[in-house]
Amino acid sequence: MPIFQITLNGILTGCIYCLIAVSFGLSYKTVKFYNLAHVSLILIGGYTMLLFYKIWSLPFIPSLIISILLTAVIAYLIQKYIYTPLRNRGATDMAMLIASLGINAIISGLIAIIFSNQFQSIANANLPTIIYTFFNLSITKIQLFNFITTTFVLIFVFSINKYSNLGRAISAIGDNEETAKIFGIDTKKIIGRTAFLSGAIAGLSGIIIGFDTGLKPTFGTMIVYKGIAANIIGGIGNLPLSALTSIILGITENFGTYILNSQWRDLIVFLLMIIFMYCRSLKNAR
């Protein structure tokens, strides 16, 4: 039955979107603008993993941890030295978005200079891909890894969001930053920590993309835009819903490509995004 296999593939595609959507949503909740520099954070995660694991052949776990931490630190630094000062200067959301586009251009340009503009995969091409099969469903090793890590990350993020002080502070800032400040929340610190957390998740998703489909300084953007689209469809900043929509989006995309043709998958996603934006504006209009 191809239906189950397609659904499974859809869920697995959705998992990557899910990670991106969650990290993007976390960042949106605190800074409240479309931080398109997320695209480059994901590239940083993927390419540092490429450097450590494939080029320098470090062991898997240390290089994984180092690249995630590195991405998180860079996300934190961008937040601290660019976004926060910009906000303090009274930049509008649009100005922030433009600045994040600029940051994205800088980082992806640097990556293209260092790692060349070619398509690269972290996975070793000489080794055969390991495929597990059960109940007639096949899944590759990296996909399994993807699925498990996404589940863990989701559980981790949702439990932080729900039960920890950080999560409460984040949702307070998400409601209203000024009020949160009045209630004694150190907003700068919380925003910095959230940037760190969302950077770490972005780095992880970059690594998975690097193993699964491969990296290219300009190519990765498409997957990231899709993750962002999933977040927007799910309601920006609403993490559980955007996680769910990412999975649904992945499934729709895979069914769409099964019914139509594989070339239309990007088109389907963005068409959906625009339709959802339109519907939401209809709802918001008085």
Partner 1 sequence: MFYLTHILILLSIYIILCLGLNLLAGNTGLMNLSQAAFYGLGSYLSAIFLTNFHLNFFIIILLTIIIMMAISWPIGYILNRIKGDDFALATLGINIIMYELVMNLTSITNGPVGIVGVPRPTIGNFTLNNNYSFLFLCVVALVIIYILTLIISRSSFGRVLKFIRDDEDTAKSFGYKTGQYKLTVFIFNASITAVAGTLFASFARMIEPTALYTSESILILSAVILGGLSNHIGSIFGAVIIVTLPEILRFIGLPSAIETQARQILYGLMLVSFMFYRPQGIFGRYKL
Tell which one of 47, 76, 211, 225 touches partner 1 (CB under 8 A). Answer: 225
**Run of H or E residues at 137:** strand 137-140
CA 182 to chain centre: 31
Q: Which of 69, 20, 3 is nearest to 226 (CA)?
A: 20
In the complex, what is the shortest distance from the CB of residue 35 to partner 1, in angstroms, rounded to a whole number?
A: 11
Interaction between residue 118 and partner 1 (CB under 8 A)? no
Tell which one of 6, 58, 73, 86 touches partner 1 (CB under 8 A). Answer: 86
Residues 163-222 touching partner 1, rule: CB under 8 A, are 218, 221-222
In the complex, what is the shortest distance from the CB of residue 21 to partner 1, in angstroms, rounded to a whole number?
A: 14
Residues 124-163 touching partner 1, rule: CB under 8 A, are none
Please tell me the distance from the alpha carbon of residue 161 to that of residue 155, in angstroms, as a whole number.
10
Q: Which residues pair with 132 in a beta bridge?
A: 139
Please tell me the distance from the alpha carbon of residue 92 to that of residue 103, in angstroms, as a whole number.
17
* DSSP H helices in 218-264: 220-233, 239-259
The one-character DSSP state at 80 is I
Please tell me the distance from the alpha carbon of residue 47 to that of residue 207, in angstroms, as a whole number.
8
Backbone phi and psi for residue 118, each to the nearest 5 degrees, phi listed first: -80, 165
Please say which residue, 71 or 104, places its beta carbon nearer to partner 1: 104
Q: Which stretch binds partner 1 (CB under 8 A): 46-54, 68-76, 79-87, 175-183?
A: 79-87
* DSSP H helices in 213-238: 220-233
Interaction between residue 96 and partner 1 (CB under 8 A)? yes
Tell which one of 24, 34, 53, 211 touches partner 1 (CB under 8 A). Answer: 34
Interaction between residue 108 and partner 1 (CB under 8 A)? yes
Tell which one of 55, 60, 93, 165 touches partner 1 (CB under 8 A). Answer: 93
Residues that bind partner 1 (CB under 8 A): 33-34, 82, 85-86, 89, 91-99, 101-110, 112-113, 117, 218, 221-222, 225, 228-229, 232, 261, 263-264, 266-267, 270-271, 273-274, 277-278, 281-282, 285
